[in-house]
Amino acid sequence: MDFDAIVIGSGMSGGMAAKELTERGLKVLVLERGRNIERGKKEDQTDWMQPWDLPNGGNVPEDELAADYPVQGQCYALSSATKHLFVKDSEHPYKTPEGKPFSWIRGYHLGGRSIMWGRQTYRLSQMDFEANARDGIGSDWPIRYDDIAPWYSHVENFIGVSGSREGLPQLPDGDFLPPFALNDGELAFKAAVESRFPGRKVIPGRAANLSEARPHHQELGRAPCKVRSLCERGCMFGAYHSSLNSSLPAAERTGNLTVITDAIVHSIVYDPASGKATGVQVVDAKTKAGSTYKAKVIFCCASTIGTAQILLNSASEAMPRGLANGSDMVGRNLMDHLYQMLTVATFDNLPDTYYFGRRPTGFYIPRYRNLNGNDEPFLRGYGFQGGFSRKGGASAALAQAGIGEELKARARELGPWTLFLAGFGEVLPNPENRVTLDKSETDQWGIPLVNISCAFGENERKMTETVQADGRAMAEAAGGTVTASISGGSPPGLGIHEMGTACMGKDPGKSVLNKWNQTHEVPNLFITDGAAMASSGCQNPSLTYMALSARAADTAASMLSEGVL
Amino acid sequence: MLLAGAGAALSACDAIGLADEDSPFRYSAEDMALITALADRIVPKGDSVGALDAGVPAAFEGLMANWASEETRAQMAGVLAALGALGGGFAALPAGEQSRLLADYDAAALAPAPQGEEELFSPPSAKDADYQRFKQIIVLLFYVSEPALTHELAYTHMPGRWDPSIPVTPETRPEGGAGSF
Ligand SMILES: Cc1cc2nc3c(=O)[nH]c(=O)nc-3n(C[C@H](O)[C@H](O)[C@H](O)COP(=O)(O)OP(=O)(O)OC[C@H]3O[C@@H](n4cnc5c(N)ncnc54)[C@H](O)[C@@H]3O)c2cc1C
């Protein structure tokens, strides 16, 4: 069977592309390399587990962790209740140069990492889309904020994003559901930070969780968030956005969707006569049998590194360097966010109150550095995610020596307000940070392994210092005592915001994609995952991938109907 | 419906409580008596629930069978040998004597021993890291159990709402959940 469109990958961007294409009447085939999983099926989604149901109290067996999850185990979300949602590193190897680690955190199954994501949802701003042009770095984005703004609204409205309207130019407001309000610790922190540091704001974290389910959410079987904060295990209520909860069901109800799982796209087939891609070659993950699927349009949404792998592996006589890689930019400019820049502080000057429920987000401090030009020793900026909580229980019991009733009494006591502050910094595009195909080794499906060579540079090092100094200053200004300040240890990739390997740009000689996410060289090939990003901003990027996917799908559908493709 | 059904369907060998049937690892009766005494002294029942109500000794054995590496098992064996020798045979001593000896041992073993940068989510480094880990496992096993989360701490699986500010009363208990060993 031939399709109008093939979407490679069913994760955050592929799910959205499939929804938008099917809703425009296109017959769409989604090819997903991982297995099928279902919302609400107890083996696939473990949000039903009470703490005492968790195998080994939530801990992955030590030998298994070391053998199968040495990289994935670095991700905070890996536990005995979620390990089936992460790849086994032992089965899905990749290479990095000696002394240059890169943590590639992945989930191969229907829905990709949209199942486990942290749901923090922020727009990029005009400043971000202008950054490369202003600084003369990387590829100038071929779009500006106004081009994407309506698509941000479109996606936000569909997925449901809780948040507050703040009127900040560096973090544009969206079409929000009610925010999850700040608790008393956070309100006091907000007051202290905003009065002591003009220009800084502490706002409720914007999250793709339904604080309220509107009729169009309910139509897809989605219910309001139950405030459990078990989201990375899946949600039987469909209360957070994932491909399983929203985009794929929306695509499915059009009657235009076909999904094939366990279908690993090996390469995209290019026809030099027409100058177009004609289809894709697939290896069955279980039987390893090969097959070919054809379509008029192809959307590559296999995630930043997966997409680079497919393009490079699609080299042909006509395009020896890889498909759509005349610019030699495929695989280059790999970025992530600076991550694991942590400040922890305790407070004894805050109201003796508590909160009820486990809100699926915390607070956010939008970027405040270099807003009006460059007046720091580094380019670009950073934001913070954080939250205040009051601990007790096991951690209080273990904080000092003592056994018996004394230990139990300590555990029962509500601990002091504790601040957790985590910086996320922008990383500059650097063509030397790149993904290539290994020349000697293939995986068990005959696909060359990727080689990932990526390191942070001087700009990132300078930024990290300021992030940590700012974290401490804000905690102390609010009356806190810093108990931990940790930075610098995390390898690129662990921010799980990898992007940039097929950047958008105005110049076909220096970029892979045009302003519609269409490859400069192969007009019916669109790339709408993180690979498309020309710069990284410091905001969590998935909303932008989805907005680009929806926008490109709209364009592709129009081009098809106009006979342009 | 899903909640109840799914919870009930979880097989006992997957749960934290018991060693997998196909795991050869088991403690001897003597070791289990020691582990039971230690767990009971560390988290006694008092006037609510303690380690024995939560099945911590069997859960500890289960964890060693299903989760621990050889290295961890050896580490725990060393701790058990040291603790078992206290007072010339810890398990046979009267409870009061056990508590006194263990409290002294605990205080000496957990004397702070800062080792550069601290782990963010772990207790401060102590003189006897092996004992510290043993105690941590016993305590975490207790506080992740249903009896502890329903009697000693608070846990609501399905809060259903977010209330950003509630008053603290004498009945207020911190929210509990899972932790890492
Ligand atoms: C724990 C965690 C927390 C996160 N928190 C946030 C957050 O708070 N906010 C945020 O914005 N982002 C967050 N992210 C990142 C977010 O998940 C990713 O940005 C997003 O999922 C990327 O979308 P994607 O479509 O590019 O890739 P994915 O969602 O990973 O989907 C790619 C899909 O393609 C499939 N695939 C790959 N190769 C092939 C192939 N050759 N053939 C067929 N199929 C293929 C994969 O199996 C996968 O299903 C988080 C991620 C994790 C893991």
In order, the DSSP letters of A455-518 are: ---HHHHHHHHHHHHHHHHHHHHTTEEEEEEE-S-PPTTTTS--B-TT-B-S-TTT-SB-TTSB
B166 and A354 in contact by Cβ < 8 A?
yes
Residue B4 in this model has a pLDDT that exceeds 60? no
Please report the pLDDT score of residue A312 as a whole number. 98
Which of residues B8 and A108 earns the better pLDDT score?
A108
Q: Which long-range contacts link A62-66 to residues 24+ away (Cβ below 8 Å)?
A: A62/B67, A62/B68, A62/B69, A62/B71, A62/B72, A63/B69, A66/B69
Q: How far is CA A481 from CA A68, A314, A347, in A?
A: 39, 55, 6
> Which of A496, A498, A526, A546 to probe ligand 1 with, by most ligand atoms within 8 A of CB?
A496
In chain A, which residues have their Cβ closer than 8 Å to the Cβ of B71?
62
How far apart are the C-alpha atoms of A227 and B157, rounded to whole Å?
A: 9
In chain B, which residues have their Cβ closer than 8 Å to the Cβ of A61?
66-69
- Top-tier CATH class for A1-44+87-120+248-336+431-454+502-565: alpha beta
Q: Which residues of chain A have pLDDT under 50?
A: none
How far apart are the C-alpha atoms of B153 and B110, rounded to whole Å?
A: 24
B67 and A59 in contact by Cβ < 8 A?
yes
Residue that the structure tokens 């959307």 belong to: A299
Q: Tell me if A447 sits within 8 A of A264, measured CB to CB.
A: yes
Domain-by-domain residue ranges, chain B? 2-152
Q: Count how many residues are written for chain A.
A: 565
How far apart are the C-alpha atoms of A392 and A395, rounded to whole Å?
A: 6
Kindly report, as residue ranges, where domains of CATH 3.50.50.60 are found in chain A. Answer: 1-44+87-120+248-336+431-454+502-565
CB pairs under 8 A between A and B: 206
In the structure encoding, which two tokens stand for residue A543, read together? 């909303």
Please report the pLDDT score of residue B8 as a whole number. 32
Q: Tell me if B38 sits within 8 A of B102, measured CB to CB.
A: yes
A412 and B173 in contact by Cβ < 8 A?
yes
Regarding the beta carbon of A119 and ligand 1, being less than 6 Å apart is answered yes
A184 and B165 in contact by Cβ < 8 A?
yes
Regarding the beta carbon of A118 and ligand 1, being less than 6 Å apart is answered yes
d(CA A92, ligand 1 centre) in Å: 15
d(CA A29, ligand 1 centre) in Å: 19
How far apart are the C-alpha atoms of A406 and A397, rounded to whole Å?
A: 9
How far apart are the C-alpha atoms of A259 and A248, rounded to whole Å?
A: 9
How far apart are the C-alpha atoms of A305 and A297, rounded to whole Å?
A: 21
Q: Chain B: give the shortest CA distance to residue A306, in Å.
A: 31
How far apart are the C-alpha atoms of B25 and B27, rounded to whole Å?
A: 7
How far apart are the C-alpha atoms of A334 and A102, rounded to whole Å?
A: 11
Residue B180 in this model has a pLDDT that exceeds 80? no
Please report the pLDDT score of residue B119 as a whole number. 60
**For residue B115, what pLDDT band results from cuts at 50, 70 and 90?**
low
How far apart are the C-alpha atoms of A406 and A383, rounded to whole Å?
A: 41
Tell which atom from ligand 1 comes closest to the C-alpha of A207.
Answer: 8
Select from A272, A211, A200, A284 the least CA-distant residue to A471: A200
